[in-house]
Chain A
Amino acid sequence: DAGVIQSPRHEVTEMGQEVTLRCKPISGHNSLFWYRQTMMRGLELLIYFNNNVPIDDSGMPEDRFSAKMPNASFSTLKIQPSEPRDSAVYFCASKRTSGGASGELFFGEGSRLTVL
């Protein structure tokens, strides 16, 4: 089975540009999570969805960040406008929460964002 698929794997952009990160969760998983990882702050949860509905976006740092999940197989995280402090690795993860699932979270390979 394919795991969580993220794109792009690497993105270098200039300050002020719009950045869109994409994620395809594992088929059958009904919860999707966006995390950000930096050396200074570690692993931070930005937002998560359950059955395509945003449940908790309290980790989204500013209005410049937005996330959508239009269907069960696709999610985007958008930063507009981007700033150098947004440079980080952004992970998407998914899990199944129904049917006695273990709740184990599966991570994508991450999108490494550099904002110059």
Chain B
Amino acid sequence: ELKVEQNPLFLSMQEGKNYTIYCNYSTTSDRLYWYRQDPGKSLESLFVLLSNGAVKQEGRLMASLDTKARLSTLHITAAVHDLSATYFCAVDRGTSGSRLTFGEGTQLTVNP
């Protein structure tokens, strides 16, 4: 059974600081996704990582994938309050019609 673990689960940081969220998974996969969820809202797709070494950046967020280590990171640069949300990683075995397995989510709070 595929297991996806995120670390940390709760993160409180100050504006302007940098931090990294980690996503580990238990079985081979080369497809990993990051989502953002604001309180009371739906899940919004942030990044799609489809190969080993893939790196994607959008604004102050950068995601990377190391399939050999079964690890993805979401790096936050110079955090701002608007980044406060819960971030989920999800892993797909990549077979046709397969399901995504989600991590528990990392609740990020950026304080002024």
Contact = CB atoms under 8 A, between A and B. Distances in A.
A56 B2 CA distance: 15
Given A42-B104, A42-B105, A43-B105, A107 B97 contact: no
SS of A interface (majority):
strand
B31 interface: yes
Given A103-B92, A105-B33, A91 B97 contact: no
Given A91-B43, A107-B43, A48 B96 contact: no
A104 interface: yes
A108 B74 CA distance: 24
Contact of A105 (B45, B104, B105): B45
A42 B35 CA distance: 14
B87 interface: no
A13 interface: no
Nearest to B99: A48
Given A42-B105, A43-B88, A43-B105, A106 B45 contact: yes
Contacts of A97: 96-98
Q: Is the interface of B mostly helix, strand, loop or mixed?
A: strand
B49 to A, nearest CB: 10
A53 B41 CA distance: 28
A105 B97 CA distance: 11
Given A43-B105, A91-B42, A105 B100 contact: yes
Given A102-B48, A104-B45, A43 B94 contact: no
A104 B48 contact: yes
Contacts of B102: 42-43
B11 interface: no
9 contacts: A43-B105, A45-B99, A91-B43, A103-B31, A103-B94, A104-B45, A107-B43, A109-B42, A110-B42
Interface of B: 31, 33, 35, 41-45, 48, 50, 88, 90, 92, 94, 96-100, 102, 104-105
